Amino acid sequence: MTDTDTNGLPERRRGSGVKMVYDLLRDEILDLVLPPGSPIDEAQLAERFKMSRTPIREALVRLAGEGLIDTLPNRSTMVSNIDFLNMHTYFDALVLMYRVTTRLAAEHHRAEDLQVIRAHQAAFAAAVEAQDALAMIATNAAFHSAIAEAGRNPYFTGLFKRLLDEGRRILRLYYQSYDDRLPRRFVDEHEAMIAVIAARDLGAADRLAKAHGEQIVDQIRKLFSRDRRLDIEL
Amino acid sequence: MTDTDTNGLPERRRGSGVKMVYDLLRDEILDLVLPPGSPIDEAQLAERFKMSRTPIREALVRLAGEGLIDTLPNRSTMVSNIDFLNMHTYFDALVLMYRVTTRLAAEHHRAEDLQVIRAHQAAFAAAVEAQDALAMIATNAAFHSAIAEAGRNPYFTGLFKRLLDEGRRILRLYYQSYDDRLPRRFVDEHEAMIAVIAARDLGAADRLAKAHGEQIVDQIRKLFSRDRRLDIEL
DNA sequence: TGTATTTTATTTGTCGACAAAAAATCGACG
DNA sequence: CGTCGATTTTTTGTCGACAAATAAAATACA
């Protein structure tokens, strides 16, 4: 037993509490452990983490800043809803960021970036092989996130990462369908993207990213119209 | 004397304090009243606004979430620096958002949107006529912000508004040069943009926005190399 | 005189408590 | 039996105080 006191609770260093609460709550929201609409009770969290409401509050303010929770003034705060009606705006933004970040990666990447990207791609391929849908979602996001980092534009990577996070919530609703033959196609497309990035072919990077993104959007649209009979306008 | 007590201090309603501090600090940062690097002292702010440190702290957390201030753990927090070395990433993002939002505005705008846009354009023209540089910056940002809103994609408008805010800090450093013949050209270009948006000509909207954005970037680059002998890579 | 070490001072992070605001409960009255 | 109003309960926003962490100052020592 390391780093724990007699109560079995980890000894927290001053200042680490907010980050812990923030990270955990964030994960629980994105993994739908806390589904949209779930009420968030400060006092309850304070008791759960054995700390005062002050650091809890700070974590909540940060989550609200990212739009992951909604706070009604003087009243309850809850996990923000996924806006299915305006989903097309999400897809538009996602595809554009796929394109821009991949193109910039082809332009600005360094040798060490490719190693990181290839490592994430290997992890994604392993998740596909293992048919682990949750791992697919996570490693796929990490793969594209690494590409964005190689593009070296913090404004784009910032927006893109937020979109990928939001995507975690959407995909997790439908990850069941991931046990068909689509994931292997994604693996191949990822390989092709790595190749054009390495070759610094900006045009091809843009084209591949566009096709890749639109295919994912198409797949999600199909899921929606099949499972929910919702016609998402694109 | 309305809404004030005997001390001359406004009676604040519960919950309004944080927003007041946030808004004011934000403006002071963007207007360079608080230049980059300025130390932010919680206790000092608490005394200035006659409130406890708790709401001050919440405002600071939100500002930190937007990257307007940097907080060293357990130590001082200060106004974030403008990253001149990586300015090109800013320009890349700005021009792309100019294009995307203008194109989407041409696609999705409604009649009432055009009225708002034209009103902002009139205010911009008036600022140019009055040679009021600060008003030009503000009304120009409002004009493009209104176009973005008409595009109806919250992900793009969110990023774009943040970029325009950041631009306020950059432009305010150089607003002196605004007393040449460039602003009138901006007025004309704005008029052309409104026309193609109204005509729902997506391609022309994209082209005009690209030219408009790149011209602004070019202008700023010239200012930099002239005033600072700084060679900004683009 | 310069450097290492202790002491002091300043500032942040956290806490428990209180007051305001909204919701929930209860009770009066039709 | 239902509706409106008063009262209680719950939850949030704010406060003042304290403790940990760091910087600054003072002291000891070579």
At B231 the pLDDT is 43
A81-129 pLDDT per residue, tens: 998 888 999 999 999 999 999 999 999 999 999 999 999 999 999 999 9
- Structure-block tokens of residue A158: 């910032």
Say whether B159 and A155 touch across the interface (CB within 8 A).
Answer: yes
Q: Say whether pLDDT at B111 is over 80.
A: yes
Q: Does the CA dihedral B105-B108-B114-B120 come out positive or negative?
A: negative
Looking at the domain that runs over B16-79, which CATH code has it been given?
Answer: 1.10.10.10
Report CA(B160)–C1'(C25) in Å, whole number. 48
Q: Closest residue of A to B64, CA-based?
A: A62
Regarding predicted confidence, which is higher, B221 or A179?
B221
Q: Going by C-beta distance under 8 Å and a sequence separation of 6 or more, which residues neighbour residue B101? A: B144, B147, B148, B151, B153, B156, B157, B160, B209
Q: Say whether pLDDT at B6 is over 50.
A: no
Q: How far is B58 from chain A (nearest CA, A)?
A: 7
Pick the closest to residue A94 from A150, A160, A143 (CA basis).
A160
- Find where tokens 């030219």 sit: B211
Inter-axis angle of helices B87-108 and A154-172, to 10 degrees?
A: 50
Mean pLDDT rounded to a whole number for chain B: 88
Q: How far is B154 from chain A (nearest CA, A)?
A: 7
Q: Say whether pLDDT at B47 is over 70.
A: yes
User: Across A109-118, B210-219, B223-232, which has the greatest mean pLDDT?
Assistant: A109-118
Q: Say whether pLDDT at B73 is over 50.
A: yes
Q: Say whether pLDDT at A228 is over 60.
A: no
Say whether B155 and A89 touch across the interface (CB within 8 A).
Answer: yes
Report CA(A72)–C1'(D28) in Å, whole number. 59
Nearest beta carbon to residue A96 from set B14, B100, B162: B100
Q: Which helix (H) or strand (E) holds B18?
A: helix B16-30
Q: Closest residue of B to A89, CA-based?
A: B153
A56-75 pLDDT per residue, tens: 999 999 999 999 999 999 98
Count CA within 13 A, CB hemisphere, residue B108.
20
What are A4's strand-pairing partners? A10
Give percent of chain A above pLDDT 70. Answer: 88
At A224 the pLDDT is 72
Q: Say whether pLDDT at A5 is over 60.
A: no
A162-177 pLDDT per residue, tens: 999 998 888 877 665 5
Q: Say whether pLDDT at B1 is over 60.
A: no
pLDDT band (50, 70, 90) for residue B221 = confident
pLDDT band (50, 70, 90) for residue B49 = very high
A72-86 pLDDT per residue, tens: 999 889 999 998 888
B128-176 pLDDT per residue, tens: 998 888 888 889 999 999 999 999 999 999 999 999 999 888 887 766 5
Query: Which residues interact with strand D by a CB < 7 Å criterion?
Result: A 13-15, 40-43, 53-54, 57, 71, 73-77; B 12, 14-18, 51-55, 58, 73-75
Q: Say whether pLDDT at A202 is over 60.
A: yes
At A208 the pLDDT is 97
pLDDT band (50, 70, 90) for residue A229 = very low
**Which CATH architecture group holds A87-227?**
Up-down Bundle (1.20)
Q: Say whether pLDDT at A10 is over 70.
A: no
Mean pLDDT rounded to a whole number for chain A: 88
Q: How far is B80 from chain A (nearest CA, A)?
A: 15
What are the residue boundaries of the structural domains of chain B, listed by start? 16-79, 87-227
Same CATH topology for A16-79 and A87-227?
no
Question: What's the Cα-to-Cα distance from B179 to each of A57, A71, B128, B132, B184, rounded to whole Å?
Answer: 48, 45, 9, 9, 10
